[in-house]
């Protein structure tokens, strides 16, 4: 396999986001950099229906009619709505045009862990709860996993490869890896890539409750006294293209995507492995030609569960050695929640913002150190610091790991 220097260099020229922190990427980043949380009571589910008190990081003050006409709304589950909103923003910022051959040589790759859960929940409530025999005729096209990729391709006339990657909480970062490989290989010249999730439904929440990993109060990664994760929803989408193309168009370059790394634990279906997580980080660094001591910031997977946070800390020690204590490692999940398949895409907003603005977002809700988590987590307050290189970690149930490495724009 050729080295990264022999490959096409990849840059991000557009970014879009929607989640509990805002309806566009600037709003989301501003909230992250100020350490504001979007976690709160769930509004569309009765609290008595949930054991954990009914908290999540919902997309709030959201009306799809503000973004889509009635005909388009009939085709969309919220997870496709979020993907389209974020993709539209990223494409506008990039200024990229999908005309002629460019449409054929652009891919759409989107990560999602669970798909159209709102539609699925509604259909099953009608079938099993209300005993209705008739379903909405567009139910399948709303809830199918590939719906957001299809919708983005149709709205923007993109005729190149379009598909959805599903690897639970690593879906977005796997999508970045797939898009990067296609562009590097010459299969395509650009990609609209990211992740989306709309998982705040009664069925999904009850299933997560049954695993006993949901926090009853809030998400507090790496802190002693952490009690679990808090689900979130939303989407992050990006325009990824070659450096040559971006420079030729005179596009603003947000950052360079230098490496991706993937691994599988081949161990337990739910328990994380520090060996597998370390393998993915090492692979991303090798792919990007980055030495461990060049990394300044890690946006951690940092779910707030006892097992994940201590395991991720061990993995960081494995990869970075003594340099681990020079790094700043934060989790933004206390702000936007754990958005499952969209997690990596939302967290890339934080990594890019840290590089561009010199602000590392904090790890909120930190109470006191845990001996098993002994790194610098920038507890509760953002950190002003120069960031040239950052990595973003995603580790999923099933032992599927994916890491993205980015650096300051050339």
d(CA 161, CA 182): 9
- The 3-class SS string of 10-34 reads EEEEEEEEEECCECCHHHHHHHHHH
Q: What is the pLDDT of residues 249-265, one digit of tens each?
A: 999 999 999 999 999 99
Beta-sheet pairing, 106-111 with 190-197: parallel
What residues contact residue 44 under an 8 Å CB cut-off, 6+ apart?
A: 58, 200
> 146 and 163 in contact (C-beta within 8 Å)?
yes
Lowest mean pLDDT among 39-48, 145-154, 262-271, 340-349: 39-48
Residue 1, pLDDT > 70, answer no
Residue 183, pLDDT > 60, answer yes
d(CA 359, CA 32): 10
CA-wise closest residue to 119 among 190, 204, 182, 58: 204
What CATH number labels 256-408? Answer: 3.40.47.10
Tell me the average pLDDT of the chain: 96
Residue 5, pLDDT > 50, answer no
> 337 and 208 in contact (C-beta within 8 Å)?
no
What does DSSP assign to residue 235?
E
> 94 and 239 in contact (C-beta within 8 Å)?
yes
Answer whether 10-249 and 256-408 agree in fold: yes
pLDDT at 160: 98
- pTM metric for this prediction: 0.96
CA-wise closest residue to 405 among 33, 26, 4, 72: 4
Confidence grade of residue 2 (pLDDT, cut at 50, 70, 90): very low
Choice between 291 and 129, residue whose per-residue pLDDT is larger: 291
Rounded to an integer, the average pLDDT of 128-145 is 90
> 17 and 236 in contact (C-beta within 8 Å)?
yes
d(CA 23, CA 31): 11
Choice between 132 and 13, residue whose per-residue pLDDT is larger: 13
What does DSSP assign to residue 129?
I
Confidence grade of residue 53 (pLDDT, cut at 50, 70, 90): low
Q: What is the pLDDT of residues 354-398, one digit of tens each?
A: 999 999 999 999 999 999 999 999 999 999 999 999 999 999 999
Three-class SS of residue 390?
A: strand
- List, by residue number, the catalytic residues: 169, 301, 338
Three-class SS of residue 273?
A: coil
> 265 and 401 in contact (C-beta within 8 Å)?
yes
pLDDT at 132: 84
d(CA 84, CA 79): 9
What residues contact residue 64 under an 8 Å CB cut-off, 6+ apart?
A: 73, 76, 78, 81
Rounded to an integer, the average pLDDT of 286-313 is 98
d(CA 15, CA 94): 8
Rounded to an integer, the average pLDDT of 67-79 is 97
Q: What is the pLDDT of residues 161-172, one digit of tens each?
A: 999 999 999 999
Question: Chain centroid to CA 158: how far?
Answer: 22
Give me 352's structure tokens.
């890019």
Rounded to an integer, the average pLDDT of 317-345 is 98
Beta bridge partners of 106: 190
- Can you state the angle between helices 25-34 and 78-94, rounded to 10 degrees? 100
Break the chain into its structural domains and give their ranges: 10-249, 256-408
Number of neighbours of residue 368 by Cβ within 10 angstroms: 8
Rounded to an integer, the average pLDDT of 323-332 is 98
Q: What is the pLDDT of residues 29-48, one digit of tens each?
A: 999 999 999 999 998 887 68
Q: What is the pLDDT of residues 74-104, one digit of tens each?
A: 999 999 999 999 999 999 999 999 999 999 9
CA-wise closest residue to 299 among 247, 210, 240, 236: 236
Quote the longest CA-to-CA distance of the chain: 63
Confidence grade of residue 51 (pLDDT, cut at 50, 70, 90): confident
> 393 and 281 in contact (C-beta within 8 Å)?
yes
In the chain, DSSP finds a helix count (H) and a strand count (E) of 14, 14
Structural Rg of the chain based on CA atoms: 20
Confidence grade of residue 133 (pLDDT, cut at 50, 70, 90): confident
C-alpha distance from residue 76 to each of 64, 115, 119, 148, 382 (Å): 10, 11, 9, 8, 37
pLDDT at 52: 66
CATH homologous superfamily of 10-249 equals Thiolase/Chalcone synthase (3.40.47.10)
């Amino acid at each position: 396999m050729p080295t990264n220097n022999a490959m096409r260099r990849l840059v991000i020229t557009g970014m879009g986001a929607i989640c509990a922190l805002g309806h566009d990427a600037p709003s989301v980043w501003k909230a992250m950099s100020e350490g504001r949380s979007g976690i709160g009571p769930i509004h569309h589910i009765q609290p008595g229906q949930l054991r954990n008190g009914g908290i999540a990081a919902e997309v709030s003050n959201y009306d799809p009619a503000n973004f889509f006409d009635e005909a388009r709304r009939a085709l969309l589950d919220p997870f496709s709505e979020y993907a389209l909103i974020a993709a539209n923003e990223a494409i506008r910022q990039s200024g990229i045009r999908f005309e002629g051959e460019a449409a054929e040589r652009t891919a759409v790759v989107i990560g999602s862990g669970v798909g159209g859960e709102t539609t699925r929940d509604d259909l099953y409530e009608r079938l099993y709860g209300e005993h209705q025999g008739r379903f909405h005729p567009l139910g399948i096209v709303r809830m199918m996993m590939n719906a957001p990729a299809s919708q983005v391709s149709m709205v923007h006339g993109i005729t190149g490869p379009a598909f959805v990657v599903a690897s639970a909480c690593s879906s977005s970062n796997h999508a970045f890896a797939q898009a990067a490989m296609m562009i590097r290989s010459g299969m395509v010249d650009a990609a609209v890539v990211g992740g989306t999730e709309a998982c705040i439904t009664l069925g999904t929440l009850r299933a997560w409750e049954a695993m006993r990993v949901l926090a009853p109060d809030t998400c507090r990664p790496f802190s002693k006294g952490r009690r679990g994760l808090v689900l979130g929803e939303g989407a992050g989408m990006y325009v990824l293209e070659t450096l040559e193309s971006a420079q030729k168009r005179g596009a603003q370059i947000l950052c360079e995507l230098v490496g991706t790394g993937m691994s599988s634990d081949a161990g337990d279906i739910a328990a994380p492995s520090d060996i597998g997580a370390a393998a993915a980080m090492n692979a991303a660094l090798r792919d990007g030609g980055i030495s461990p001591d060049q990394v300044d910031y890690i946006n951690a997977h940092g779910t707030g569960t006892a097992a994940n946070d201590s395991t991720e800390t061990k993995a960081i020690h494995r990869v970075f050695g003594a340099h681990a204590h020079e790094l700043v490692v934060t989790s933004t999940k206390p702000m936007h929640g754990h958005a499952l398949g969209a997690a990596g895409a939302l967290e890339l907003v934080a990594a890019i913002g840290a590089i561009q603005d010199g602000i590392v977002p904090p790890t909120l809700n930190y109470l006191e150190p845990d001996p098993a988590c002994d790194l610098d987590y920038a507890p509760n307050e953002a950190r002003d610091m120069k960031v040239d290189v950052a990595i973003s970690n995603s580790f999923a149930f099933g032992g599927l790991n994916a890491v993205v490495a980015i650096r300051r724009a050339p």
